[in-house]
Amino acid sequence: MPDFITVLIHPGVTMRRILDQRRYRWIPLVLLAVAASALRDRDHSDLRNALPFEEWWIVAGIIALALAAGLAICLLLFYGFSWIPYLVGRAFEGTGDVREVRTALAWGLMPIIVSAVYRVPLALWLGSQVTTINPMACGTLAIAGALELATLLWYAFVASAALAEAHRFSFLRGFATLTFGLLTPLIFTVAAVLALH
């Protein structure tokens, strides 16, 4: 089976095969994860009503530039963030280099990419339900919340196993590396805010 399927089921074995083959491609995976995450923004009706149809080409150009800039910023942020799990993993006696860690982090995003399977139908369904509150819409929102939680847990499992393979240590250390890596920017932000007050 293709790697993008097996990594969802056997992330450790798949990640080891990818790293042994020195396939360090991460940009397409990050872009797909950003696109899948953007599907949570369901209602764009106000934007459509505000745009003048006569000047659609200007609006289309502005939107294209904004999307390109946003994607470039996401790639830069991911590139910079990948150094944190690399350094945290080294503190846990990991041996992976930063390219391997970056690749593992990107492949760990596969559950988020796959979430487009349910996010697209939910976006289409909830787009027509956002102006009214009814039992059907509330039930759909509850299902959406459960699916988002399942995706988050699946992401934690896949990304932890992928990081563990990149650093060549246990799954628990991979999970700790992912957790500390995600918390580090938050800790620095809180510390900076407290220092300014």
Give pLDDT tens digits for 145-195: 899 999 999 999 999 999 999 999 999 999 999 999 999 888 888 888 888
Structure tokens at 90: 């080294």
Q: What is the pLDDT of residue 166?
A: 96
Residue ranges per structural domain of the chain: 3-196
Average pLDDT over residues 130-136: 56
Residue 110 to residue 105: CA distance in whole angstroms: 10
pTM: 0.82
Neighbour count for residue 58 (Cβ, 10 Å): 11
Distances (CA, A) of 132 to 120, 135, 137: 20, 10, 8
Give me the percent of the chain exceeding a pLDDT of 90.
57
